[in-house]
Structure 1
Amino acid sequence: MSVYARLEQLGLNIPDPPAKGGIYAKIKQTGNLVYTSGQGPMLNGKVVKEGKLGVELTVEEGQEMARIAVLNCLSVLEEGLGSLERISQIVKILGFVNSGPGFNNQPLVINGASQLLLDLFGENGEHARSAVGTNELPLNFPVEIEMIVELSAD
């Protein structure tokens, strides 16, 4: 089943790609690997929810923000590649979690993104991962995610 069919099955859409927030490339390809710049939980040019996990947001809210952030990663990949069908596998994701004092459930938060990638890409969505706590993120994002994907041979 195609990634687009799985998106439809889950009732999800790829959002419009977020505008760049600085001087960088949204994606960068080297060989058959494509790296995304970090993406947060933005829709229609606005941050969906702001704040720190363990202070203003729960783990469940953080998981939802991680899902939106990874959908934004997919949106910049689709914009740059023309189709998500070109992706053969998800190699790695790096998730940053805006964490309040004592919050140490970063892996649970980033599980929201990881599970969505498994749901969309099946076994090819299984990836290496890091989940890192930080004291601040741009625009007071609760999470920021970047990805590395491998492209199918043409």
Structure 2
Amino acid sequence: MFTTFTPSLGKGRTVPGLPARRTELSLVCTPGSVGRARHHAAHVLRGWRAHDDTVDAACLIVSELTTNVLCHAEGGADRPGSGGSFTLGLEIMGDLVEISVWDPDPTPPVRAAPEADQIHGRGLVIVSMTSTRWGHRAAARGPGKVVWARLPLVRGDVPASVLRDSDPPAAGD
């Protein structure tokens, strides 16, 4: 199920020309749901005119957070007979975009310190390196938790010179 929340003037009137500031997508826990969540995030962020770098970083975070649900959460796809689900949320918060993933398991996520030869355990390390901030909270309604990460919402219409000015100077400058 896909839900959008559009800016409102009250009494059911919306602000013309402004995109939704929050979306939610509920998915059943299957391996294919990670790709659907990532595709949804890219589509929404492009609709919000996010810069390609923001879209790419957000899609990486969505992949990691949704994969964690499948691998670790009670009711995830690897739990026999679970039929679990999760909800992906995207929200504009001033100059940030918050990516959130709700799942029914209240167990807090644990950031691992994997050995170099381990295959798993890097998801939250990648999230922490890609986002400006991340964390988790108890679900507002019902059981479970929400794991979230925030990124700067750089718009695609930002002049390239502004983006270049934020890059560190080259050696010898």
**TM-score, structure 2 length as denominator?**
0.33
Structure whose alpha-carbon radius of gyration is higher = 2
Specify which structure has the bigger relative contact order, considering alpha-carbon pairs within 8 angstroms and separated by 6 or more residues: 1
User: Which one has the bigger helix percentage?
Assistant: 1
